[in-house]
Amino acid sequence: MTLNRAKIYIVIALIFTIVNANAQSKFEYGIRSTLNMSTIGSQYGKYNGSGMYSMGIFGSRNLSNLITVAIEPTYTQTGFKEKQNDSRYVLQHLDINLNTYFSVFGDDALRLYLGLRPGFLLGYKSETIKDGSYVKLDATNNTNKAGQVDMGINAGLSVQLSPVVNFELGYSYSATNNNDNTLIKGRTSTIEMTLKLNAVDLKRLIDSKEITIKEQIQTYQKGVLFVMLPTLSQKDLARLTNEGDRNYTINELRVRNLKVIAEFVRNYTFTPVFFFADSNVNQIITGNYGSIFLNNNLEVDSTIKAPQTTNFMVASFCSDLYNYSDRISYGLFVYDNQLNQLGKPYTIPGQMFGLYTDGDPQNYFKTKRINYTTMPFDRMVRKFNSRMIRYAEF
């Protein structure tokens, strides 16, 4: 194929794509990554095809429910090796894949594609093994020249792996393949495996999740928040054999819980808030509230009545297995009505105090005297409250 004929084919293909791009239909775009394997070894036993790669972008437009056209500018490396002397040849192309996709079931689940692949040779190299590594080879049989045009034909199938990712298995036939046992010229045909990430579908998926989260938070806004306050069990107290340590721990926990209550009362406005001891958590889950709610002085107050509802969250400053990092962390954790930990945006990394208590490495090693009362609970509560309001209103 002469250079002029190749240019004509490219112009015709580009005109076809531009004309189709004016159709009134959805335009999508994204990135693509490909692994390719040269098939020259199936033609000449002298060679082995090498696994190479390509990276690029794509833009596509649906002409109908059954037909999609796409243009895919791609940087591609292809290559192969000689078996006997371990020489290798690598070509670097700028490809303009122009493919048409045909839906098998009327959607993107399974599609067949066919198209043209004009390619421009950006560079090439011949190398051979010397002292255990590849060095430049002055191969007179490699007659490729930068700027030469390659024309190919693409064919294959596309499978939708997820709402945003497609996998393609295809064959790219090179019409300018003039390689043989004595001459290295042109480009070999390749088998290709491609992953495509659709940026438009990704944004659509993120937006859909954001809308779902917004609706969920708006529902929670009509409910209540139960704040769970930790208590000391008999086993905890039994481990504290020193009376001074026991009194310190009891007082420390009381001061801490009073501070948590004060900060929620002062800084949390998203929903009504009620406080209870963690020893009564089963009653919260089962809806058997009774006289379990605490007043601002940590006393059970039977006059405090929470609405009988399953629409509630549970929040607690505690140590728990944080799902984000899969490790025990201390911070503000938020749970649903069955005490399953809620992820983002309810429980986020910014609500974790980290390895050291309030940034003090010494406190981390004080197993008996962890001074929780110095922690900035107010900051955590304010941020949690403002984040819930922001999501509910955006």
Q: Does some domain include residue 216? A: no
161 inside domain: yes
Divide the 394 residues of the chain into consecutive groups of 10 and give the mean pLDDT of each group: 48 48 67 96 89 95 93 95 86 96 91 96 88 81 89 96 95 91 90 95 85 92 95 78 78 90 96 95 91 93 92 92 78 94 91 58 44 76 95 84
Which residues, 6 or more positions from 86, have their beta carbon under 8 angstroms from its beta carbon? 128, 129
Note whether 237 and 384 are same-domain residues: yes
- Asked whether residue 198 falls in the same domain as residue 259, the answer is no
Residue among 191, 182, 139 at smallest CA distance from 44:
182
131 and 104 fall within a common domain:
yes
- Asked whether residue 253 falls in the same domain as residue 384, the answer is yes
Per-residue pLDDT at 319: 85
**Residue 175 and residue 317 in one domain:** no
Among 72, 66, 170, smallest CA distance to 108 is for: 66
Residue 104 lies in a domain: yes
CB 40 within 8 A of CB 49: yes
**392 to 48, 154, 221, 271, 345: CA distances (angstroms):** 60, 48, 8, 12, 11
Looking at the structure, do residues 101 and 243 belong to the same domain, yes or no?
no
In a domain, 284, yes or no: yes
> CA nearest 145: which of 123, 113, 164?
123
Q: Are residues 232 and 350 in the same domain?
A: yes
Q: Do both 238 and 196 map to the same domain?
A: no
My answer on whether 140 and 255 are in the same domain is: no
Are residue 228 and residue 326 in the same domain, yes or no?
yes
| Residue (of 353, 350, 347) closest to 322 by Cα position | 347
Residue 215 falls within a domain, yes or no? no
Which domain-ending residue is among 170, 204, 238? 204
Q: Considering the domain boundaries, does residue 214 fall inside one?
A: no
Q: Is 113 within a domain? A: yes
Does residue 354 lie in a domain region? yes
| Parallel, antiparallel or unpaired: strands 47-49 and 190-198 | unpaired
Q: Is 333 exposed, middle or buried (0-12, 13-18, 19+ CB in 10 A)?
A: buried
| C-alpha–C-alpha distance, residues 95 and 174, integer Å | 12
Q: Which of 178, 204, 230 is the last residue of a domain?
A: 204
Residue linked to tokens 């090796």:
81
CATH code at position 166: 2.40.160.20
Is 329:349 a contact under the CB 8 Å cutoff? no
Task: Single out the residue in 204, 231, 263 at which a domain terminates.
Answer: 204
pLDDT of res. 373: 60
pLDDT of residue 112: 97
Same domain, 121 and 247: no
Q: Give the whole-angstrom CA distance, residue 234 versus residue 239.
A: 9
**List of E strands, the chain:** 27-38, 47-49, 51-62, 67-82, 88-103, 110-130, 133-136, 149-160, 165-174, 190-198, 224-229, 273-277, 293-294, 312-322, 327-335
Vertex 257: Cα angle to 307 and 308 (nearest 5): 10
CA atoms within 13 A on the CB side of 286: 7
Helix (H, G, I), strand (E, B) or coil at 20: helix
**Confidence at residue 244, expressed as pLDDT on a 0 to 100 scale:** 77
Q: Does residue 355 sit in the same domain as residue 261?
A: yes
Counting the structural domains of the chain, the total is 2
Find out whether 58 and 99 touch, Cβ atoms under 8 Å: no
Domain coverage including residue 196: 3-204
